[in-house]
Amino acid sequence: MTALPTGSTIGILGGGQLGRMLGVAAAQIGYRCLVYAPEENPCAAAVAVGHVRGDYDDVDALRDFAARCDALTYEFENVPAAPLRALGDAVALHPNADALELAQDRLREKDYILSHGGRPADYREVDSRETLEAAIDAIGVPAILKTRRFGYDGKGQVRIMSRNEAAAAWADIGKRPAVLEAMVAFEREFSIILARGHDGDTRVYPPPDNRHEDGILSRSIAPGTGLIAEQSAAAADLARKVAEALGYVGVLTFEFFASAEGPVFNEMAPRVHNSGHWTIEGAQCSQFENHIRAICGLPLGSTALTLPRVEMTNLIGIDGEEAQRWLETPGAHLHFYDKGEARPGRKMGHVTQLFTE
């Protein structure tokens, strides 16, 4: 593809902080973002040239939006794929609808990874109490029951520590189509964040060590060391293979558990990722800029570190005043998303710190 000229308009479906950081990166290299989101004041719109308020399944509104854009992307994976397919080829959508659909369904995603040589935790499809019992017979306990669709940040999932918790777990997830997953005895969690261009050029960031609290990412430290460093090449090979098979354009993220038996695939996200926020200051070219470069048909930037160690800390459930205390810490880079009310568990911003050793 010939690169989109500067001044072109990129349509972003979704109005959260990922869209906001994409908007900043796009503006920096001369592109304009238009945000499509159902909310009244999405935080991405504050840095965009405009906001169209509409539902994700409103094909007419999406068509009008697409007509104003030179490229389309999305910043969260629960945008329904069918209305996007209905837009046809009027404007290029990246990452493509196939990748979006795959990442929306935990079961299909795990099957796909398995068929490409990856290793998810042992899993079984669950669509009833009976299939849940059978899955427990096959996998054993402890295990985790996760809804196939619409799960994030540990939502839509429940741990089953003993068989007599099965009925409650099934009710807990709303009796929705699900996957039962074996509990992985892992040492660390890490992610492979890659960018793939129209020409197939693929760049992988140094994999960060991701620390979670209550199922929510709290810190990412790059580069991951020890077992993560040992297992990152195999994990990156899998990620590259999947990106190529999907004809993927943009940033794609894979989460892994580093276990004594090797890297275990957890899930993938067809987008920039919280565990890659450190790349804004910590990499030569950030995940946000590389996503914009990729979808605009530009050459990708270097994913190398700017300093030997980078740490990103999420600011969860805190307000602007508390977040601004970070401004007193020398070298701390504060990013505040201006999302309104600070609620427990809500990601309000993040801080990145760089270290020379």
Interface residues with ligand AMP (CB under 6 A) are 121, 144, 151, 154, 181, 183-184, 189, 212, 215, 255, 266-267
For ligand AMP, give the closer residue by CB, 11 or 151: 151
Q: For ligand AMP, give the closer residue by CB, 62 or 242.
A: 242
Element (H, E) at 349: strand 347-355
The single-letter code of the amino acid at 54 is G
Beta bridge partners of residue 265, listed in sequence order: 120, 256
> 42: Cβ–Cβ under 8 A, 6 or more apart, which residues?
14, 15, 16, 19, 35, 51
d(CA 21, CA 29): 13
CA 90 to chain centre: 26
Q: Considering the complex, what minimum distance in angstroms separates the CB of residue 245 from ligand AMP? A: 22
Is-contact 301 289, C-beta < 8 A? yes
**Rounded to the nearest whole angstrom, what is the least distance from the CB of residue 131 to ligand AMP in the complex?**
18
DSSP character at residue 93? B
Min dist. Cβ of residue 208 to ligand AMP (A): 13
At closest approach, how far in Å is the CB of 156 from ligand AMP? 8
Cβ nearer to ligand AMP, comparing 200 with 215 = 215
Query: Which residue's C-beta sits nearest to ligand AMP?
Result: 184
Place of tokens 């401004």: 327
Q: Please, what is the minimum distance in Å from the beta carbon of residue 215 to ligand AMP?
A: 4
Structure tokens given for 213: 């609290």
Least distance from ligand AMP to the Cβ atom of residue 273, Å? 11
Nearer to ligand AMP, 199 or 214 (CB): 214
266 vs 287 by CB, closer to ligand AMP? 266
Shorter beta-carbon distance to ligand AMP: residue 203 or 273 = 273
CB 318 within 8 A of CB 335: no
Continuous H helices in the chain: 17-28, 59-67, 81-86, 97-103, 106-115, 129-139, 166-172, 227-245, 279-282, 287-295, 320-323
CB nearer to ligand AMP: pick between 156 and 250: 156
Q: DSSP letter at 229?
A: H
DSSP label at residue 353: E
Shortest distance (Å) from residue 99 CB to ligand AMP: 18
Sign of CA dihedral 329, 345, 108, 81: negative
